[in-house]
Amino acid sequence: MQHNPDALAEVHTRFAQNAFSRHLGIELVSASAEAILLRLELLPQHRQNLGFAHGGLLATLADVCMGFAAVANARPDSHVLTGDLRISYLNPATGPVVWAKGYPIKVGSRLVFTEAEVYQEAEGSQKLLCKASASMVVVAKADVRR
C-alpha cells in the first residue's frame, strides 16, 4: 500500500540530493512503489583484495536501495531511517557493474520492511552477490531535531 501519491517524484528528488550516493557513483535506474533499481560502476577505489568489491560497498548499495523502496511507500510528511540491516554475502563482486533491486515487503505507518538483492551480469546471466533485509523506521519530519 503506497501512502504517498507523490512518492516517485519524492524518490527522484531525494536521490538527487543524496550526496553520499553521488560520491560513491550510485545511479538511480528506475523507481516505482514496487521496486527500486540502482546501478554502480565499480571503480578501483571500490575494490579490495583480489579485486573484489568491498563488502561494505555492497551493503551500502543494498541499504540505499531499500531506503528508497521505503521512501516510495512512506507517508509524504516523513523521513526514513535504517533501523536494522542484515546482509548475506553469496559471491564476490568481480565484474565492472553491480545492480541492486530493493522492494517493500510490508508497509506500516512506523516501519517499512524491505528486501534487496545485489547482483552483477556475468556471461549473459545474473550472478547474485548478496541478499539483504532491513527494517526502515518512518519518522515524521516534525519529530526530527537538528
pLDDT value at position 76? Answer: 79
Amino acid identity of residue 109, one-letter, is S
Contacts with 38 (C-beta within 8 Å, 6 or more apart), sequence order: 26, 27, 28, 29, 61, 64, 65, 68, 99, 100, 101, 102
What average pLDDT values come out for the chain (146 residues) when binned by 10 residues? 67 90 94 94 93 95 97 88 97 95 95 97 88 96 66
Contacts with 48 (C-beta within 8 Å, 6 or more apart), sequence order: 54
The CATH number of the domain covering residues in 7-143: 3.10.129.10
pTM value > 0.75 = yes
pLDDT value at position 1? Answer: 45
Domain map (residue ranges) of the chain: 7-143
DSSP 96: S
pLDDT value at position 144? Answer: 64
Query: DSSP states of 120-132 as a string?
Result: EEETTEEEEEEEE
For residue 123, the tally of other CB atoms under 10 A from its CB is: 6
Query: DSSP states of 27-72 as a string?
Result: EEEEE-SS-EEEEEE--GGGB-GGGPBPHHHHHHHHHHHHHHHHHT
